[in-house]
Structures are given as structure tokens and as C-alpha cells.
Amino acid sequence: MIDAGFPEEIEDVRAAWQAGRTQEALDLVPSGLIDKIGLVGTAEEVRAKLADYRDAGITLPIVSPRFMGDGAKEQALEIIRACAPS
């Protein structure tokens, strides 16, 4: 994550996490970092970003949505299906 261009921010996140301030650490993760290393957005936006990765030579992009609680499995499957190429 430091290589992604957020060294100071990541040090702050790490310090909060190691001090046991989990929520603070999560809140400190910059949205720009999430946009840079993750695929976020509507299903259409995510499909477009996945297409960009494929165009760049990625042959097997891994889609791994994260959900917790009731219905997590169903939500994850719904997202995977929505992101599949047409």
C-alpha cells in the first residue's frame, strides 16, 4: 500500500491498528487508496474496471467481495454474478 503512493497515511493506519484502535484505523484508510487497489462502484463500473485489467493482460482477475452477517453468502454471489463478463 505504501507503493501505491500513500506512505504517510498507511503509517497512520498501521499505528492506529497496532494500538487496538480498529475503527480509527479503518476510518484512516484513504478513499483514493481504495479506488487505486480495489474495484468499487456499481456493477457496471466494476465490470468496466475489470475489462481494463483484462485489456492490460490480466487473464484471471479475482473477484472477492466481502460481506458479513445474515445473507453474506448470497450477497457475495450476487456481486460475483453481476461483475461477470456478458
How many domains would you assign to the chain?
Answer: 2
Question: What's the confidence (pLDDT) of residue 2?
Answer: 66
Is residue 46 domain-shared with residue 86, that is, in the same domain?
A: yes
Distance of alpha carbon 26 from alpha carbon 6, whole angstroms: 15
Is residue 47 domain-shared with residue 84, that is, in the same domain?
A: yes
Is residue 27 domain-shared with residue 46, that is, in the same domain?
A: no
Q: Is the pLDDT of residue 71 over 70?
A: yes
Is residue 30 domain-shared with residue 53, that is, in the same domain?
A: no
> What is the extent of the structural domain holding 62?
42-86
Is residue 49 domain-shared with residue 82, that is, in the same domain?
A: yes
Is residue 82 domain-shared with residue 55, that is, in the same domain?
A: yes
Once rounded to an integer, what is the mean pLDDT over residues 36-51?
84
Is residue 18 domain-shared with residue 54, that is, in the same domain?
A: no
Question: What's the confidence (pLDDT) of residue 4?
Answer: 72
Q: How many CA atoms lie within 13 A of 53 on its CB side?
A: 17
Once rounded to an integer, what is the mean pLDDT over residues 75-86?
82
